[in-house]
Structure 1
Amino acid sequence: MSSQIKYNLLPLVQSISYERLSVYGYQANHLDSQNVAALARYLWNIALSESFYPSIQLCEITLRNQLYAQVAQKFNDLDWLNNSAILVNHRDREDVEAIRLSLLKRNRDASAHRIIPELSFGFWSGLLHKRYEGVLWPWLLKPCFPYLAKRNRTQSYVFQRLNDIRQLRNRIFHHEKIGHLTNLLDIHQEICDVIAWMAPDMLPYLQSIDRFDAVYQQGAGYYEQKLIEKLRGVTNE
């Protein structure tokens, strides 16, 4: 039915850009119905990205707090972020130093509790890289992930899951396309699993605000119908 009606899609295309929408199948020579479907895929992508925010945020915050606390306890060093014997990777040390200098430049406190939230998810997940074997791992695997099954309690197993999450997080925060990915259900479950390895009591709170399953099941078709309704309203004004 939508192909029988002409819609003014130009304002949307100008705001979002033709180049970005072309990734979702928008083409100037397509029928309006085809381009409405492309716009709907774009809107669904936004909704999907938003629906990941609660789980990713909770995972990231729990991970960084858990890692910082357990490393500090093991080495009896609250300032371990500035200890090159612990933070053995020079790029990680450079990240910490850049944040410290930025805080000082702004006349801010540059203690650990200020630096921790400024460090990226890539920094924290990177601590599970094999370069930290013999420094942090395997000794801190159980303290950091006390509810992870023993058979899976390895540096490589944890790193791979965190790396999956990091890659998706980066796509989302760079406003990239994720709706085409076939493993979104798996990655969402991985995020929940990682939280459960550290703090299973947090899962009920996450579930109370997590909309991922509902948005995923809606699919782009739901947003196409909503878009058509909105466009018809504008056309009839």
Structure 2
Amino acid sequence: MQAEATRGLLDRDYQSSPGLQGLTVHSGDSVNTGEWPTWAERSLSGARLQTYATAAGGRSAAIRLYWWNIEVSAAFYGPLHCLEVALRNALHGALMHRFGRPDWWSIAPLDADGARLVSDAQTKCGRRINHRPATADDVVAELSFGFWVKLLSRRYDRTFWVPALHRAFPRGSGRRDDLHRQFTTMMLLRNRISHHEPIHHRRLEADHATLFRLLDLLNADLSAEARQLDRVPTVLKQRQDTCAGLRTPQF
């Protein structure tokens, strides 16, 4: 059930963006004819770029869209970093208080998958840190974004959410299932960026709004600081000029 819900979120967020309309297609620059530049064919691969050509309407525009995709991915990295670290520290703090120990996972009712992820994290810490025993903070830092997001799922409603995790959101959280859905959306965005996949198809303005809405719930002061440094809105506004060849992207 949860896997189907995650796939549904991915399908919804991967729908075509209106920002692709109006891209400039040069004469003779069709989607399937001509050759890619040698450097692009050799190192980026024509097969990879072809998806951009289909979206942009031509090969010249495809390369510009490719660069813009990297630029906007880089812009999202900082706010997503803040969100992931803030979430894991907030949930860790709430569960540490609930179970009365920093290694709360040792006695908490994690499901088999959660217990496996903790065990894997402990093993990785042991390999990486050979001059001292791994601490709870080491394990927390090693656990994936997906681990923390899953703690907000229905599976843990009675064991974690009701007695503890709702307190991790001092400004209120609303419905747990809505919160879980929104964090899952952010996890999918983060994973696409981390794996160098296209995100230009997504509703990026909505993603940006969701990200800062969640960050506000976790820590309004951190959210305000992140907004001062955030360049996602600027990059989104520059999409058309970048894809039309009127500006050079930076990343």
Question: Aligning the two structures, in what range does the TM-score lie when normalised by the shorter sequence?
Answer: 0.7 to 0.9
Question: Displacement of 1:158 after TM fit?
Answer: 1.0
Do the aligned partners of residues 188 and 109 (structure 1) sit closer, same or farther apart at CA in structure 2, a change above 3 Å counting?
farther
Match of 2:37 in 1: 9
> 2:75 is paired with a residue of what secondary structure?
helix
Please give the residue correspondences for 1:7-156 in structure 2 after superposition, counting only pairs within 5 Å.
9-25=37-53, 34-83=58-107, 86-106=108-128, 107=130, 109-148=133-172, 152=174, 154-156=175-177
Aligned-pair CA distance for 1:195: 0.9
Structure 1 match to 2:184: 163
The Cα offsets for residues 97-153 of structure 1, whole Å up to 9 and x where unpaired, read as 11212222342532211111111100011100111011011232441111126xx2x
Instruction: Give runs of aligned pairs for residues 193-208 of structure 1, distance below 5 A.
Output: 193-208=213-228
User: What is the TM-score of this pair, normalised by structure 2?
Assistant: 0.79
What is residue 216 of structure 1 aligned with on the other side? Answer: 236
- Give, as a single letter, the amino acid of the residue that structure 2 aligns with 1:76: G
Deviations 1:12-43 (A, max 9, x none): 232211111011016xxxxxx93110111111
Q: The residue matched to 2:158 in structure 1 has which SS?
A: coil
CA distance in 2, matches of 1:171, 1:4: 32
1:93–1:7 distance in 2 versus 1, CA, 3 Å? closer
Gap regions ≥5 residues in structure 2: 1-24
Letter paired with 1:129: S
TM-score, normalised by the number of residues in structure 1: 0.83
* 1:175 is the counterpart of 2:203: no
Q: Give the counterpart letter for 1:201 in structure 2.
A: D
| Contact persistence 1:21–1:42 (CA under 8 A) | yes
Q: 1:158 to 1:216 in 2, by over 3 A?
A: same
Instruction: Write the distance in 2 (CA, Å) between the matches of 1:156 and 1:8.
Output: 46
Asked whether the 8 Å contact 2:153–2:176 carries over to 1, the reply is yes
Residue 191 (structure 1) aligned with residue 211 (structure 2):
yes
Could you say if the C-alpha distance between residues 78 and 8 of structure 1 is closer, same or farther in structure 2, counting changes exceeding 3 Å?
A: closer
Root mean square deviation, CA, Å: 2.6
| Distance across 2 between alignment mates of 1:144 and 1:135 | 15
Superimposed CA distance per residue, residues 153-184 of structure 1 (whole angstroms, 9 cap, x where no aligned partner): x2211101111111111111111111011x21
